[in-house]
Amino acid sequence: EAGVVQSPRYKIIEKKQPVAFWCNPISGHNTLYWYLQNLGQGPELLIRYENEEAVDDSQLPKDRFSAERLKGVDSTLKIQPAELGDSAVYLCASSFSDQETQYFGPGTRLLVL
Partner 1 sequence: EDKVVQSPLSLVVHEGDTVTLNCSYEVTNFRSLLWYKQEKKAPTFLFMLTSSGIEKKSGRLSSILDKKELSSILNITATQTGDSAIYLCAVLIQGAQKLVFGQGTRLTINP
**Binding residues vs partner 1 (CB under 8 A):** 3-4, 33, 40-45, 48, 56, 89, 91, 98-99, 101-107, 109
Q: Which long-range CB contacts under 8 A does 40-43 form with residues at least 24 apart? A: 43/91
Residue 82 or residue 91: which is nearer to partner 1 going by CB? 91
User: In angstroms, what is the minimal distance from the CB of 77 to partner 1?
Assistant: 16
Q: CB–CB of 65/44 below 8 Å?
A: no
Residue 22 or residue 81: which is nearer to partner 1 going by CB? 22
* DSSP characters over 7-34: E-SEEEE-TT--EEEEEEPPTT--EEEE
User: In angstroms, what is the minimal distance from the CB of 16 to partner 1?
Assistant: 26
Q: CB–CB of 92/6 below 8 Å?
A: yes
Residue 33 or residue 65: which is nearer to partner 1 going by CB? 33
Amino acid (1-letter code) at residue 25: P
Residue 74 or residue 98: which is nearer to partner 1 going by CB? 98
User: In angstroms, what is the minimal distance from the CB of 91 to partner 1?
Assistant: 7
Q: CB–CB of 85/91 below 8 Å?
A: no
